[in-house]
Amino acid sequence: MKVNKLVVKSEQDLRNCLDLLYQEAKKGKHFYGMLELLQNDVVILEAIRYREKGKCKICAVYLSPGNFHCHHIDPSKPLSEINKTVNLVSLCNQCHRLVHSNQEPPFTERKMIDKLTEYRNKLKI
């Protein structure tokens, strides 16, 4: 299966996309980003975006369906806790990639660098 772009216009579209991607993941395929959140977690996903006023927690850019990742702050938590809202934050694509790498950030604002460093340290990168 090759998917270049998923267009999500409603909660039902999102559920359908997540269902399709979950079925592919069960076959052993890996999808980067928020796709590990299963259908029942759509409410959690929306709660996180609402809590953060629709902005990336690091750079504060407004998030859209094509530029939105749900980041697990502590991925080592047990399954019963990993998808709780206290362990999740909204990030844009660029910031999510930066959190999971040692790449130098393109921004220089101290607050943004501190937040990026905080999330990296919790991942032990």
| Per-residue model confidence (pLDDT) at position 97 | 94
pLDDT digit string, tens, across residues 4-13: 445 555 666 6
pLDDT score, position 40? 47
- Of residues 94 and 24, the one with the higher pLDDT is 94
Half-sphere exposure of 39 (CA within 13 A, CB side): 10
Query: What's the pLDDT at 62?
Result: 92
How many Å apart are CA 118 and CA 125, to the nearest integer? 11
pTM above 0.75, yes or no: no
